[in-house]
Amino acid sequence: MKRICTFMLFCVCLMFASLSLANEDLEGSSDHPLFTRMPGFFIDSYQYQEFGNMEFMTGEDQVIEPEGIHTSIAYFIKDDAVSPSEMQILRNHETAAAAIGGKVVYKEPNTIYILAEPQNRKLYIRVSGHNGGEAYSIETVEESRMRQDVVADVSVLQSALGTAGKVIITGIYFDFGESLLKPESDPAVLEIARLLNNNPNLTLHVVGHTDSVGSLETNLILSKARAQAVVQALVENHEIGAQRLKAHGVASLAPVTSNRTKEGQALNRRVEIVDQ
């Protein structure tokens, strides 16, 4: 049996409760950056999350839950406007999505599921028409990894090194295919610096790992460049002696799990420190 997501139920309930409200956009809301709205509609419900998920149908009784930047918008027709048909709403969004390479992967009577990949971003889109076209909703997830706000502190790093001889550093970020360390990585780098400052005789291998997407040769270069970026940040920003650190890249040669899934690939992209 097909699932009915919480957001769609919420829209249907609001369909009747909100029609008597002022025909103005909800304060703080906005259209999705990739889609203008249908003429004569206003935003009644709006939600934006830096990290969330949604249910997305890829086939009959086949549901996935992509995670990333999550946006939910519900529109209602204004009192003085003529509503389009649900088919007209869905077809408009299907055509608009096609302009950015989007394709419908599944259809239900009043809902379409679209997958688009504009500018190397994977975007999951669900558009639903309600009440004969008097309301419609758009829900999207732009697939991304969750920002790691919690990083292991120096005591955790020291304990892991003492027992396992190595530790994965959470909270290290790079853009796709790049080796420039992102500013969000600063808290994690700081904890490595504290570890080294607390243990003056400690020397570390900094090891970069990638998933298996792309050639091994390219990923060997990329993984070492990422490890070197961490070393550089420790030396230049925290005055750690360069002789205490060695950068290495092993590409996808030491995965922690299978690279056959997106989730596995995300776990395999990592930086580790290893006790020399």
- The whole-number pLDDT of residue 263 equals 74
Q: Where are the domains of the chain?
A: 6-143, 154-275
The stretch 142-162 carries a mean pLDDT of 74
More confident residue, 3 or 240: 240
* Residue 247 burial by Cβ neighbours in a 10 Å radius (0-12, 13-18, 19+): buried
Convert the pLDDT of each residue in 181-204 to its tens digit: 988 899 899 999 999 999 999 999
Question: pTM value?
Answer: 0.53
- pLDDT value at 268 more than 80: yes
pLDDT at 9 over 60: no
In DSSP terms, which residues pair with 68 in a beta bridge? Answer: 52, 143
Is residue 181 a contact partner of residue 233, using CB atoms and an 8 Å limit? yes
Q: What is the pLDDT of residue 21?
A: 55
Q: Evaluate if residue 113 carries a pLDDT over 90.
A: yes
CA atoms within 13 A on the CB side of 199: 18
Please report which confidence band the pLDDT of residue 134 belongs to, taking 50, 70 and 90 as the band edges.
Answer: very high
Which CATH architecture describes the domain 154-275?
2-Layer Sandwich (3.30)
- How far, rounded to the nearest angstrom, does the alpha carbon of residue 100 sit from its chain's CA centroid? 19
Task: Note whether 69 and 49 are within 8 A (CB).
Answer: yes
pLDDT exceeds 90 at position 12: no
The 10s digit of each residue's pLDDT in 16-36 is 444 445 799 999 999 998 899
The span from the CA of 268 to the CA of 247, in Å, is 18
Q: 58 phi and psi, to 5 degrees? A: -110, -5
Question: Residue 119: what pLDDT?
Answer: 66
Q: Which residues contact 188 (CB under 8 A, 6 or more apart)?
A: 148, 151, 152, 169, 170, 171, 172
